[in-house]
Amino acid sequence: GENVEQHPSTLSVQEGDSAVIKCTYSDSASNYFPWYKQELGKRPQLIIDIRSNVGEKKDQRIAVTLNKTAKHFSLHITETQPEDSAVYFCAAGGGATNKLIFGTGTLLAVQP
Amino acid sequence: NAGVMQNPRHLVRRRGQEARLRCSPMKGHSHVYWYRQLPEEGLKFMVYLQKENIIDESGMPKERFSAEFPKEGPSILRIQQVVRGDSAAYFCASSPLERGFGQFFGPGTRLTVL
């Protein structure tokens, strides 16, 4: 069935460093790849998304890259700040399906 | 434009009771998705609805769970005869687009079954 794998499960970086989270998906028909940030006890918040017709998208300190051939996509956060600390989820969807399949999440801790 | 609203935020039920969770999508959004999140786990798709129609319920258990999105009013996720394993956070998301694009999440309902 459809599956999204996400790595690493935990990531600790120093403030100011970059953080990279990687996901792979199994359904080759997927064409929509959003990223969500979830703080403890809060709702998931959409922070950036990309469609399969582009290979990269950037919004200030965050960027997402997509390699459709390899079925990989990644989230890059530069100049990390303590308020970036949260759980980040990738997801894949679109195509023939109506739903998003989520990865298992990455707990990012930014050390001041 | 208010975001996605869910109520109640917290719900406590005893085993065997019914739980009814409500979701009001963002204004202009006609697509509603329900997800379940167990502690320290990811979001699992349950059901996708448009007004008056269930489009995809492939993630929803076939027994005890049902969902609706009537012409007027919020979407409802109903769990009958709750069991301890139903304890989780239930999130709904809404979107103006189909196929899962552009989903915005509500604050969730945290269900505890005693």
- What would the pLDDT profile of A22-55 be if each residue is shown by its tens digit? 999 998 889 999 999 999 989 999 999 998 888 8
What's the mean pLDDT in B98-112? Answer: 89
Q: Give pLDDT tens digits for B11-67.
A: 999 999 999 999 999 998 989 999 999 887 889 999 999 988 999 999 999 999 999
Task: Give dist(CA B42, CA B65) in Å, integer.
Answer: 20
Q: Is the pLDDT of residue B1 over 60?
A: no
Integer Cα distance of A65 and A58 in angstroms: 9
- In angstroms, the CA B69 to CA A33 distance is 26
A103 touches chain B (CB under 8 A): yes
Mean pLDDT of A67-76: 95
Q: Say yes or no for a CB contact (<8 Å) between B55 and A45.
A: no
* Chain B interface, best mutation among A6, A31, A42, A43, by max B CB count within 10 A: A43
Interchain proximity B103–A98, CB inside 8 Å? no
